[in-house]
Structure 1
Amino acid sequence: MIEKRTAYPDLQDGTPNPLKTLTAEQFAALGGNAVAFVRPITGTDLSDMITDADFEDESIYQLVMSADGTPLLVTDTDEAVDDWLTEHKLGLVSLH
């Protein structure tokens, strides 16, 4: 018989799992320089973030960011993202 388990079990002594009580800053620091996430972003939004570059307003770009939210790479292809992540030995996490 399969045992029913909670998705985020508390510790044996009944105290909450420490991961449940992390601040946003502590959570971001968990990834350090080891993980990144990718999100699609319009040229218009990129132009607001990066004022010294020209982006086509209606184009969709891929923005790679570190766990703490620091922008790392902007590109217009998934292949460039894959190559860059491999070159920099970063893991990719998904956003929920």
Structure 2
Amino acid sequence: MMDKRNSDAAFDAANPLKTLTRAQFAALGGDAVAYVKPVTGLVLAGMIHDAEFDAATQYQLVMSADGTPLMVSDSADAVSEWLGDQSIGLATLH
């Protein structure tokens, strides 16, 4: 039986992106790199005060590498379509 903890530690050590600080990650792509984060309307209401969100709804929040919100949608398809029209690379987070 393989010990998963040992293989995860080796992967994390070999992947320098896992150890970047927020500032280092933001400096990588500035406004050219974004990520998509699923969030509830309750979380969004705390972030974006001049908009109304259903507290129980799951939204897709597109954020730039520096943490600036770029786009909010209740549909992953809409996010994909929007990203296709932008000059932004998508970073994947696990």
Aligned residues: 82
* Maintained 8 Å contact 2:31/2:66: no
Residue 83 (structure 2) aligned to one of 82, 85, 96: 85
Higher helix share: 2
Normalized against structure 1, the TM-score is what?
Answer: 0.73
CA RMSD of aligned residues (A): 2.3
Other structure's SS at 1:89 match: coil
Q: State the alpha-carbon separation in 1 of the partners of residues 62 and 18 from structure 2.
A: 26
Normalized against structure 2, the TM-score is what?
Answer: 0.75
Cross-structure match for 1:53? 51
Cross-structure match for 1:33? 31
Return the offset for 1:23. Answer: 4.6
How high is the sequence identity, in percent, across the aligned residues? 59
| Larger Cα-atom Rg | 1
